[in-house]
Amino acid sequence: MARALVLGVVGARPNFMKMAPVERVLRRHPRFRFGLVHTGQHYERMSDPFFRELGLPDPDHHLKVGSRPAAEQIAQVMVRLIPILERKRPALVLVAGDVNSTLAGALAAHKLGLRVGHIEAGLRSFDDTMPEELNRRLTDQVSDFCFTHSPEADANLRREGVARSRIFRVGNLMIDTLFRLRERARRSKILARLGLSPGGYALLTLHRPSNVDREDDLRRFSGLLERVGRELPVVFPIHPRTRDRARRFGLWTRPSPALRLIDPLGYLDFIRLEEQARFVMTDSGGVQEETTALGVPCLTLRENTERPVTISRGTNLLVGTRPAGILGGVERVLNGRSRPRRRPALWDGRAGERLVRVLEAATE
């Protein structure tokens, strides 16, 4: 009997880390086979190294959508994806996270009467100004399988009317990838290449439009980072979006001992930097989760987070975007007053296996 096709749709780097554990389990599964569609939403120079390091196969289909305004990007993914779905008729279309490709893949499959599974369902910031919030809500509403990683996510879905029969808490698939590749990451030479010592630097990621698109906001962060850099150097693998804005605003045009700008990193080098940092500052959702699993203090440069479990059980501090809050968080960490790690339940490296067991039960 032919094996049922599970078709994963990915578009940005966080999707890759969440999809890889499912692909690994399904690779030799007797009842399922896995196919991959890459929408091309993300910058290709940031995507390609991740495929190699995560062990993902080359995509079966590459839509090459590229960077576009959100509505146009979603529309183009759907237009290019629907013929593939009509031809392949997968048993399940699997999407991950909250990027535009996530929503586009879910809507396209749902319109064709195909079953949809959403990895990382139920996350909510309760901030409708975040583009990702609408993507999350709509994707969950059309998903037949809402795969969650925390009790809070389950509760959010139930509050929005999602039936219990569609909610499956399987754990955090991103942490599956982290734990699988952690030892390889420890062989990375990135610290030596950058002349860094363990615990002797802070690590920064900054890319959200709300933080980098306005000149006043980015200039405020620039001044803040110089102040933080007086305590210890800040290493900043700068996202192409942020670099573009910085050039436009005339920022970071000269080398600074306080702020070390470097090109975007592959997964293994980044995890090595993350694990050895004194603390991490970020506006990324995934980094909040990784630092919680690694036990590294994290300062989240946002006014809200859709991952409250990283605060209640992890190492994350929500410090906002104003200098006083951020500098207060830095002082707290440097003075040893950051919270100890308590890894959330089911963040154990086995989430991919649990997800596939749900699919097995659903197709018996």
Please check whether residues 206 and 152 belong to one and the same domain: no
The CATH number covering residue 327 comes to 3.40.50.2000
278 CB-contact burial (10 Å; exposed 0-12 / middle 13-18 / buried 19+): middle
Asked about 207 being catalytic, the answer comes back as yes
Is 12 inside a domain boundary?
Answer: yes
Please check whether residues 276 and 303 belong to one and the same domain: yes
pLDDT at 364: 74
Tens-binned pLDDT, residue by residue, of the chain (364 aa): 689 999 999 998 899 999 999 999 999 999 999 999 999 986 555 566 788 899 999 999 999 998 889 999 999 999 999 999 999 999 999 999 999 999 999 999 999 999 999 999 999 999 999 989 999 999 999 999 999 999 999 999 999 999 999 999 999 999 999 999 999 999 999 999 999 999 999 999 999 988 999 999 999 999 999 999 999 999 999 988 899 999 999 999 888 888 999 999 999 999 999 999 999 999 999 999 999 999 999 999 999 999 999 999 999 999 999 999 999 999 999 998 776 678 999 999 999 999 999 999 998 7
Backbone angles phi, psi at 297, to 5 degrees: -60, 140
Is 277 inside a domain boundary?
Answer: yes
Is 229 inside a domain boundary?
Answer: yes
Please check whether residues 151 and 62 belong to one and the same domain: yes
Please check whether residues 27 and 126 belong to one and the same domain: yes
pLDDT at 47: 65
Catalytic residue among 110, 118, 207, 239: 207
Please check whether residues 155 and 214 belong to one and the same domain: no
Please check whether residues 205 and 268 belong to one and the same domain: yes
Is 326 inside a domain boundary?
Answer: yes
Global pTM value = 0.94
Is 201 inside a domain boundary?
Answer: yes
Pairing state between β 298-300 and 259-262:
unpaired
Q: Tell me the one-letter amino acid at 49.
A: P
Give the integer Cα–Cα distance in Å for 159 and 169.
16
Please check whether residues 141 and 30 belong to one and the same domain: yes
Number of domains in the chain: 2
Residue 309: domain span: 187-334
User: Are residues 317 and 311 in contact, defined by beta-carbon separation less than 8 angstroms?
Assistant: yes
Please check whether residues 113 and 213 belong to one and the same domain: no
